[in-house]
C-alpha cells in the first residue's frame, strides 16, 4: 500500500498515474475515489475535491487515468472496450494501492461508466456505494452528435490550447477519447448488463440539459440495477452539474454518502 502524499504518482501496470489526496478530517474516515470524464484529469476537477471533502469529511482521492493529465500517454487508437479495461484491469490495482478501506466511487461521464462496470464486476466489501454523474451505459445519437461537434471545435478554435493546460499530451487525450466514441463500431457499445450485478447503493445525477446524453441513461440504471437507484435531475445544469450547479450537486452527494456509509462517524452531515 502506498503512503499517500497530497500529490504524487502511482505506478500501475507500467503506467505512471498522477494523483491528489485530501486526507480525511477524522483519521479513520472513509474515502471517496473520483473518476474523471473522458477529457478530464486531476486538474480539471477544479475545486470540487476540496468542496466535497468539506461537505463530507471523507478522504478524497483523485487520479488521472493513462492518457490524461500528467499521467503516461496511451497507444492510439484506444481499444473500443477501453472503459471495461480501466474498470477490470486498472481500477482494482489503484484501490489496492491506496488506503481504501471503505468508501465510495464517484465518477463523471466515462468515469461514471467505469465505476458502474467495476461495481457490477467485483464483490468488493470495501465499496459501499457509487455516485454516477452523467453516466453512459449505451451510445445515443445525441452523444455522437455532440462528440463530433467538439472534434470540429477542437480542430478549428482555441479549445486545443485551453485543454493543453491540463494534459501534457493533449492530442493523446483528445483523440484517444474522441476517436473511440466516433468509431462506427462503438455504436454497439453497451455496458448495461453489468448493472444487474451491482450490490451497493447507486445514485445517478444528471443535468436537465445534458448535451451528451438523455434521461434514457438514468432510466436504464433504474431498470437494470439490482439495488434501488437514487436519481437526481439537476436543474440548470448540462453535462457537468458538479461545476454548473455545484451547490445542489454537492448537497445530494453528501446526503447519499452519509446514507450509503450508514451514518459513519467519520462523515459529517452536509
Q: What domains are defined for the chain?
A: 7-260 (3.40.50.1820)
Mean pLDDT for the stretch of residues 177-187: 99
Task: Assign 42 a pLDDT band (cuts: 50, 70, 90).
Answer: very high
Distance (Å) of CA 84 to CA 134, 144, 145, 177: 17, 19, 23, 14
Distances (CA, A) of 207 to 107, 204, 215: 14, 10, 9
Using pLDDT thresholds of 50, 70 and 90, give the confidence band for residue 269: very low
d(CA 216, CA 213): 8
3-state SS record for 210-251: CCCCCCHHHHHHHHHCCCCEEEEEECCCCCCHHHHCHHHHHH
- What is the reported pLDDT for 268? 59
The dihedral region occupied by 46, where left means phi > 0, alpha psi between -120 and 50, and beta the remainder, is left
Q: Is the peptide bond before 77 cis (omega within 30 degrees of 0)?
A: yes
Nearest to 94 by CA among 169, 33, 21: 33
- Please check the confidence at residue 74 and state whether its pLDDT lies above 60: yes
104-163 residue pLDDT tens: 999 999 999 999 999 999 999 999 999 999 999 999 999 999 999 999 999 999 999 999
Segment 35-59 shows an average pLDDT of 97
Q: Give the contacts of 5 (CB within 8 A, at least 6 positions apart).
A: 21
pLDDT at 265: 67
**pLDDT of 213 higher than 50:** yes
> What pLDDT was estimated at residue 28?
86
Where residue 99 falls among pLDDT bands split at 50, 70, 90? confident
Q: What is the mean pLDDT of the chain?
A: 96
Q: What share of the chain is helix, strand, coil (3-state, %, to 5)?
A: 40, 20, 40
**pLDDT over 90, % of the chain:** 92
Confidence of residue 25 (pLDDT cuts 50, 70, 90): confident
From CA 10, how far away is CA 1, in angstroms rounded?
Answer: 10
Amino acid at each position: 500500500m502506498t503512503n499517500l502524499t497530497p500529490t504524487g504518482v502511482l505506478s500501475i501496470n507500467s503506467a505512471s498515474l498522477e494523483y491528489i489526496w485530501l486526507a480525511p478530517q477524522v483519521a479513520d474516515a472513509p474515502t471517496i475515489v473520483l473518476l474523471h470524464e473522458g477529457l478530464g484529469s486531476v486538474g480539471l476537477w477544479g475545486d470540487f475535491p476540496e468542496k466535497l471533502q468539506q461537505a463530507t469529511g471523507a478522504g478524497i482521492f483523485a487520479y488521472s487515468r493513462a492518457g490524461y493529465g500528467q499521467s503516461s500517454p496511451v497507444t492510439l487508437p484506444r481499444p473500443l472496450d477501453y472503459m471495461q479495461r480501466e474498470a477490470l484491469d486498472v481500477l482494482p490495482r489503484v484501490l489496492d494501492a491506496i488506503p481504501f478501506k471503505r468508501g465510495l466511487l464517484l465518477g463523471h461521464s466515462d468515469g461514471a461508466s467505469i465505476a458502474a462496470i467495476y461495481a457490477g464486476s467485483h464483490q468488493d466489501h470495501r465499496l459501499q456505494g457509487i455516485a454516477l454523474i452523467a453516466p453512459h451505459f449505451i451510445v445515443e445519437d445525441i452523444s455522437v452528435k455532440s462528440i463530433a461537434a467538439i472534434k470540429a471545435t477542437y480542430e478549428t478554435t482555441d479549445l486545443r490550447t485551453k485543454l493543453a493546460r491540463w494534459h501534457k499530451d493533449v492530442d493523446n487525450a483528445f483523440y484517444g477519447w474522441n476517436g473511440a466514441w466516433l468509431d462506427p463500431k462503438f455504436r454497439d457499445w453497451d455496458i448495461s448488463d453489468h448493472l444487474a450485478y451491482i450490490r451497493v447503493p447507486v445514485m445517478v445525477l444528471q443535468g436537465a440539459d445534458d448535451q451528451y446524453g438523455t434521461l434514457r441513461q438514468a432510466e436504464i440504471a433504474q431498470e437494470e440495477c439490482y439495488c434501488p437507484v437514487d436519481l437526481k435531475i439537476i436543474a440548470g445544469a448540462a453535462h457537468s452539474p458538479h461545476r454548473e450547479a455545484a451547490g445542489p450537486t454537492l448537497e445530494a452527494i453528501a446526503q447519499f454518502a452519509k446514507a450509503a456509509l450508514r451514518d459513519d462517524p467519520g462523515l459529517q452531515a452536509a
